[in-house]
Structure 1
Amino acid sequence: MCRWLAYMGEPLRASTIVLDAKHSIVAQSLDSPLGAETVNGDGFGFGWYPSDATPTTEPAVFHSIEPAWNNQNLREITRAVESPLFFTHVRAASGPPIQQTNCHPFRYENWMFMHNGAIASWPELRRDLTVAIDPSLYPQVLGTTDSEVLFHLALTLGLRDDPIKAIGQAIRTVETVGHAHNVQFPWQGTVAVSDGATMWAFRYSTSGRTRSLFHSTDVPTLREMYPTVERLATFSDNAKVVVSEPLNDLPGVFVEVPESTAVTLDGDGYRHQPFLAA
């Protein structure tokens, strides 16, 4: 499938985790031990909010169909950008073609979205799900992926008012349409979405065997656990990272997000709640 990373906290030079971590997202693009595919070389994306963002600021996005490990522009941009909230995604295409409009993260107004997973039997379900998108939003669907349709379906269903409810309703719509087409397990995936101030992450699949997802332990606790690790001084006390798989091998730095869980990340920390649980 894919691998992704999301950061939230005080403005941080993006290369600190995009490039410099032991098992960085760029390293995972070439070798992801926990991924469904080891190599994620079918393009990538980097999206970020500026340090002076307001509640209506659009994030900037950079997409390329080159492998992340081989793109000098990604290195230049992430070394130059300091951001309080950014997304990075490396893609392993599950069917739709390799083109920039199919690279995550996707953007609408001040919202960003990315996904690791797939809608099963996408060619058969695509028409029914696409026509469920609000007509005013349909022109914003520029690519051919199931992920982008899910994002716009969630926007249709109220993402801007209640992200957890809207993502849940969008996935339930996928399951309803899938079951009508005799697809046993229509939805698989982890999702990240943000409005620039708060981030939400989701882990859920119809089969109950979802792709991996982790988030970091709070930084003050990590400093107590590893007082000699100088790298921790780079991060603010409120720094939070959500990842498809851990960025290092230190025990306790990353906590696995349980199945069927939604995680809210904001200034108060992490909050888990059941998501589409049976």
Structure 2
Amino acid sequence: MCRHLAFLGPEEPLGRYLVEPPHGLYRQAWAPRHQRYGTINADGFGVGWYAEGDPVPARYRRAGPVWADLSFADLARVVRTTALLAAVRDATLSGADAEAAAAPFAADRWLFSHNGAVTGWPGSLAAVSRTLPPRDLLELEARNDSALVWALVLARLRAGDEAGQALADTVLEVAAAAPGSRLNLLLTDGATIIATTWGDTLWYLAEPGRRTVVASEPYDDGPGWLRVPDRTLLAASRTDVLLTPLKDLTEDLASTPSEEPRT
């Protein structure tokens, strides 16, 4: 479910990466080519971007399908940026959260998106949610699994964790609590892109020193796109891309003998 994309590079209009490509995120809203779960992404969309001299990103989000929003077409044509994160949301069960449920989520200098689903939601993460301060729970933008996953990531970032560690630890924690979850996470601060693959597709396009694009699926058939293996942490800048396998904590837990409770 869902498709997302992040970009770092020379200043370009939003539409250069979202609308103009033959298979861009705009088209992926109704005709994704690599989506394994769901068939149409019509329950909201959003884009976040960074303006020169301001580390806090702006966002534009709506509850409906991206192709029905004529204002977005104008926005994508004229707004320029050197970094963005955008997403289209899979058609899902109805809810009251409207555009608040659409990625990207944001706090401080960060933009975040979750492509996937938490199995057994919401009960499966009841225990995990209790690790968050009550204020964090009350400040959730939406009552969906992605918003809670974002709160877990953000809590780690604010505690001082490096971005890659925050994403990796959150994926392993949620996967242990809700086996079978799909947890492709995408995070940027405008200078780096951090992502995970856990149950769904992810690709990247790198031109070292110029631009890096990380996306659920390629937006064209040009050369250079590389697929990220499943259960991998990706860390990228404009100059390089680093891939690190994510350890499967659920297998470790299954193979470790239980211990007596400590007193």
2:259 is aligned to none
1:131 is aligned to 130
Deviations 1:10-43 (A, max 9, x none): 2111111111001010101011121122211111
Structure 1 residue matching 2:41: 3-state secondary structure = coil
1:61 is aligned to 59
Aligned CA distance change for structure 1 residues 112 and 96 (closer, same or farther; 3 Å): farther
Moved over 3 A (4+): 93-96
Q: Residues of 1 paired with 2:237 and 2:101: CA distance?
A: 28
Q: Residues of 1 paired with 2:188 and 2:206: CA distance?
A: 20
- Total equivalences in the alignment: 246
Deviation at 1:94, TM superposition (A): 4.0
Q: Which shifted more, 189-198 or 77-86?
A: 189-198
2:17 is aligned to 17
Aligned CA distance change for structure 1 residues 140 and 10 (closer, same or farther; 3 Å): farther
**Alignment partner of 2:82 out of 81, 84, 98:** 84
Is 1:260 the equivalent of 2:231?
A: yes
Q: Residues of 2 paired with 1:113 and 1:188: CA distance?
A: 16
Structure 2 residue matching 1:30: 3-state secondary structure = coil
Q: Residues of 1 paired with 2:121 and 2:10: CA distance?
A: 39
Q: Report the TM-score when normalising by structure 2.
A: 0.87
Q: Residues of 2 paired with 1:176 and 1:272: CA distance?
A: 22
2:200 is aligned to 211
Q: Contact conserved, 1:94 with 1:118, CA < 8 A, in 2?
A: no
Q: Contact conserved, 1:3 with 1:90, CA < 8 A, in 2?
A: yes
Letter in 2 for 1:192: L
1:222 is aligned to none
> Unaligned regions of 5+ residues in structure 2, if any?
252-263
Deviation at 1:96, TM superposition (A): 6.2
Structure 2 residue matching 1:164: 3-state secondary structure = helix
Is 1:244 the equivalent of 2:216?
A: yes
Deviations 1:238-271 (A, max 9, x none): 1111111111123x33110111111111143211
Q: Residues of 1 paired with 2:119 and 2:94: CA distance?
A: 13
1:121 is aligned to 120
- What is the RMSD computed on CA atoms of the aligned residues? 1.9
1:269 is aligned to 240
> Unaligned regions of 5+ residues in structure 1, if any?
179-183, 205-209, 220-236
Q: Residues of 2 paired with 1:33 and 1:21: CA distance?
A: 14
Q: Percent identity, please.
A: 24
Q: Report the TM-score when normalising by structure 1.
A: 0.82
Q: Residues of 2 paired with 1:65 and 1:137: CA distance?
A: 23
Q: Which shifted more, 152-161 or 58-67?
A: 152-161
Is 1:157 the equivalent of 2:156?
A: yes
Is 1:201 the equivalent of 2:199?
A: no
Q: Contact conserved, 1:129 with 1:149, CA < 8 A, in 2?
A: no
Q: Residues of 2 paired with 1:72 and 1:96: CA distance?
A: 23
Q: Contact conserved, 1:214 with 1:256, CA < 8 A, in 2?
A: yes
Q: Residues of 2 paired with 1:195 and 1:96: CA distance?
A: 31
Aligned CA distance change for structure 1 residues 47 and 158 (closer, same or farther; 3 Å): closer
